[in-house]
Amino acid sequence: MADGSSLSALSPSQTHAGTPLRHDWTRQEVETLLNLPFPELLYRAQTLHRQFFDPTEIQISTLLSIKTGGCPEDCAYCPQSSRHEERIKAEKLMAVDGVIAEAKRAKEAGAARFCMGAAWRSPKDHDLETVCSMIEGVKALGLETCVTLGMLDDRQAHRLKDAGLDYYNHNIDTSPEFYGEIISTRTYQDRLDTLSNVRDAGINVCCGGIVGMGEGESDRAGMIASLASMPKHPESVPINLLVKVAGTPLQTAEEVDPIDFVRVIAVARITMPASHVRLAAGRENMTDEAQTLCFLAGANSIFYGERLLTTPNPAATRDRQLLDRLGMNTTVSAK
Ligand code: SAM
Ligand code: DTB
Ligand code: SF4
């Protein structure tokens, strides 16, 4: 890897001198940012990125689906829902040993964080205990831990915190107004309740959404305004480009103009300058040049390794080659 500069990241709870974090972003303000002339938008995003982070550094997380398919929820984008036509075969929760073995491989490949995903509406108590053992084992390898298990109540969030969990991923996915077009089995408020249980338990929040589900520009603005108006910004903000999976209701969703996707990344960076903004799902179908623009717009995290949960992600060698071409480094730990 090329050598980066020695600028270091501020922790997301800090503010940079003269640049306080705002928590009162309106949808209108966000929409105005989304429509800035592209050079102006990128200049603003880069200026803030450099105040809070080393722009040559990328944090890398590796995903593992620890419980695949058979999910009772009806999220229109998701191949793991049991309500769609061509659904993925439902599997049981993985055994702890198998998960630790995968985490070791991810660490050897250079990941800083290991994210475990389960296709549940919410975890059952005995399954949560197994996940806690996984968290303890993965942490013992020196990796940061993240899990995404669906809705959590307050007690479950505290149990995960006691097991040492670093991050919980739970996405708002889209704007409050468009949400009902995508999911009917749980509400936007359910999602916010889980997020506040996670936050109150003292776990770092990973929360973002998806672009490309047929939403309008005002929904993209509404999604970012919701994230950026949280009392504390999520420490990680994954911005996913919809992976159109055959058999899901969104398989024929309209393509997103890559420049518009970059705009969403830039506005996430501007409104949540101390957060890690992750260029999440969808990289497999993106050109190196589009990904590069995302990094220039302030994305400073990726999922790394050849699979997301059930769909392909670029091979690690392709990512290393791209980061090398750009003279960029990977951060060992985002904390
Ligand atoms: N069941 C849990 C939940 O929904 O919170 C955890 C797993 S779920 C797969 C995690 C997130 O992955 C979703 O909230 C969504 O944002 C993202 N996701 C799922 N399918 C996707 C797809 N086809 N394209 C892009 N992002 C997707
Ligand atoms: C997130 O925002 N994206 C990841 C992670 N959080 C769990 C999941 C992407 C899933 C893409 C579809 C799949 O591979 O099944
Ligand atoms: Fe289930 Fe999560 Fe997929 Fe929704 S996104 S169907 S909750 S696995």
Which domains are assigned to the chain?
27-326 (3.20.20.70)
Residue 20 pLDDT: 84
pLDDT band for position 85 (cuts 50, 70, 90): confident
- 305 close to ligand 2 (CB < 6 Angstrom): no
What pLDDT score does 87 carry?
66
Give the residue among 244, 257, 304, 264 at the shortest CA–CA distance from 107: 304
pLDDT digits (tens, 9 = 90+) for 247-286: 999 999 999 999 999 999 999 999 999 999 999 999 999 9
Q: Is the CB of 171 under 6 A from ligand 1?
A: yes
* pLDDT mean over 230-237: 97
27-47 pLDDT, tens digit per residue, is 999 999 999 999 999 999 999
**278 marked as binding residue:** yes
- 238 DSSP β-pair partners: 278
Confidence (pLDDT) at 16: 57
The answer to whether 132 is annotated as binding is no
Q: Tell me what pLDDT residue 13 has.
A: 44
Q: What percent of the chain has pLDDT over 70?
A: 93
Residue 191 known to bind ligand = no
207 is in an annotated binding site: no
Q: How confident is the model at residue 332 (pLDDT cuts 50, 70, 90)?
A: low
pLDDT for residue 141 is more than 70: yes
Query: Measured from the CA of 309, which atom of ligand 1 is nearest?
Result: 9
DSSP 299: -
Q: What is the mean pLDDT of the chain?
A: 93
Ligand 1 geometric centre to CA of 47 (Å) = 31
CA of 150 to the centre of ligand 3 (A): 7
Q: What is the pLDDT of residue 331?
A: 82
Q: Report the predicted TM-score, pTM, of the whole model to 2 decimal places.
A: 0.94
* Whether the Cβ atoms of residue 49 and residue 42 lie closer than 8 Å to each other: no
7 pLDDT higher than 60 = no
The reported pLDDT for the residue numbered 145 is 98
Quick one: pLDDT at residue 2? Answer: 35
* CA separation, residue 226 to residues 5, 33, 133, 220 (Å): 34, 15, 33, 10
Q: What's the token pair of residue 167?
A: 């991050």
State if residue 65 touches ligand 2 by the CB under 6 angstroms criterion.
no
Atom of ligand 3 nearest to the CA of 186: 7
CA torsion 219-236-158-95 (nearest 10°) is: 100
The ligand placed nearest to the CA atom of residue 234 is 2
Helix axes 27-34, 217-228, angle to 10 degrees: 120
Residue 78 annotated as binding site: yes
Tell whether the model's pLDDT for residue 335 goes beyond 60: no
Which tokens go with 236?
Answer: 């990680």
Quickly state the pLDDT bin for 86 (edges 50, 70, 90).
low
Residues with catalytic function:
71, 75, 78, 115, 146, 206, 278
The response to whether residue 79 sits with its C-beta less than 6 Å from ligand 2 reads yes
Q: What is the DSSP string of 104-151?
A: HHHHHHT-SEEEEEE--SS--HHHHHHHHHHHHHHHHTT-EEEEE-S-
Question: What is the reported pLDDT for 18?
Answer: 63
Q: What is the pLDDT of residue 89?
A: 84
Å from CA of 175 to ligand 1 middle? 15
Kindly report, residue by residue over 91-114, the tens digit of the pLDDT: 999 999 999 999 999 999 889 999
Residue 14 pLDDT more than 70?
Answer: no
| Cβ 171 under 6 angstroms from ligand 3 | no
In this predicted structure, the answer to whether residue 3 has a pLDDT above a threshold of 50 is no
Least confident span in 10-24, 96-110, 156-170, 172-186: 10-24
- SS3 percent helix, strand, coil of the chain, rounded to 5, is 40, 15, 45
The predicted structure's pLDDT at residue 334: 44
Nearest CA to ligand 3 atom 8: 119
* Rounded average pLDDT over 129-141: 98
Question: 177 C-alpha vs ligand 1 centroid, how far in Å?
Answer: 19
Please enumerate in sequence order all residues whose Cβ is within 8 A of that of 202, keeping only pairs 6 or more positions apart, or say none: 161
User: Is the distance from the beta carbon of residue 88 to the nearest atom of ligand 3 less than 6 Å?
Assistant: no
